[in-house]
Amino acid sequence: MGGWLTDWRARVNLALMLIDMHTHTSVHSTDSNLLPLDSLARAISRGLDGVVLTEHDVVWPRHLAEQLSEEAGIVVIPGVEVTTELGHVLVYGIQSLVPRITDAKRLRTFCDDQEALMFLAHPARDPGLRVPKESMQLFDGVEGLNGCDGPLQNMSARSRGRTRPLPPIGGSDSHALHEVGTAATEFDADIRNLADLMAALRSGDYRLMEIDP
C-alpha cells in the first residue's frame, strides 16, 4: 500500500505523519503484557511518528499520555476501544468514558456531544458479529487495516466502510511487543496532539500503511 502518491509527497518534503491508531498496554488492557515505554521504543524503531493508546474501555488521562510522550520521544495521544453490542469501536476525541457505555447508539450520542469520532474496529474478525447495514450509519468510518487480522479480513473490513464519510484507518492492535507498528495510518498533516489528530481525521487526508516487519 502507499504507492506513487506517498513516494511523491515524501520527495517534495510535505509533512507526513505515520500514526498507529490502535494500541494496547498492560496498564489498562488485561489482555496485554506490553509495557508502555517498551511499546513506544519499538514504535520509534519501526519508523512511527506517533501512537494512539486505545485501551479497552479506559481512556488514558491526557497528562499521563503527555508524560509518556516526553519520556519516550514520540507523539502519544489518548483514544479508547469501546466494547459494544455491535463489536469493538475505536473512539477518538473524548477525555473520559464516564458513565461507561456499551450500547452503540448511546455511544454515538455521547460522541456527538463531545465532537468525537467513531470507527468500527476489525469489523470482519468475528463472523458471528456482523453489523447490520442500517447500524453502519452509526460510524464515521471503519478500521480497514488491523495488524492482527489477515488480508482477507482487512479487505472485507474496507468494503464495509465504503459508504462511510471518512476513509478507513489503520492500526496494529498491538497487545505484545512483536505486534507493535505492523500497521498504521499516514496523515498529510503534522500531528502533535489530540486537536491536531481530530482535524486531520476530519480532513480525510490520510491513508492506510502496512509496515514491513
Name which of 117 and 190 has its Cβ closer to Zn ion. 117
Q: Interface residues for Zn ion in 113-172 (CB under 5 A)?
A: 121
Cα 15–20–76 angle (5° rounding)?
80
The residue written with cell numbers 492506510 in the block is 208
- String marking each residue 1-40 x if it binds Zn ion according to CB under 5 A: ----------------------------------------
Report, in Å, the least distance between residue 24 CB and Zn ion: 6
Q: What is the CA radius of gyration of the chain?
A: 16
Q: How far is residue 59 CA from its own chain's centroid?
A: 13
For residues 56 and 38, is the Cβ–Cβ distance under 8 A? no
Report, in Å, the least distance between residue 121 CB and Zn ion: 5
Report, in Å, the least distance between residue 139 CB and Zn ion: 14
The residue written with cell numbers 509527497 in the block is 9
DSSP assignment letter at 141 = E
Select from 88, 108, 164, 207 the one that contacts Zn ion (CB under 5 A): 88
For residues 26 and 176, is the Cβ–Cβ distance under 8 A? no
55 binds Zn ion (CB under 5 A): no
Select from 55, 140, 173, 186 the one that contacts Zn ion (CB under 5 A): 173
**Interacting span for Zn ion (CB under 5 A) from 30-38, 61-69, 74-82, 138-146:** 74-82
- Coil, strand, or helix at residue 17? strand
Helices 36-45, 62-72: axis angle to 10 degrees equals 50
Select from 81, 140, 143, 186 the one that contacts Zn ion (CB under 5 A): 81
> Using CB under 5 A as the criterion, which residues of the chain lie in contact with Zn ion when the complex forms?
81, 88, 121, 173
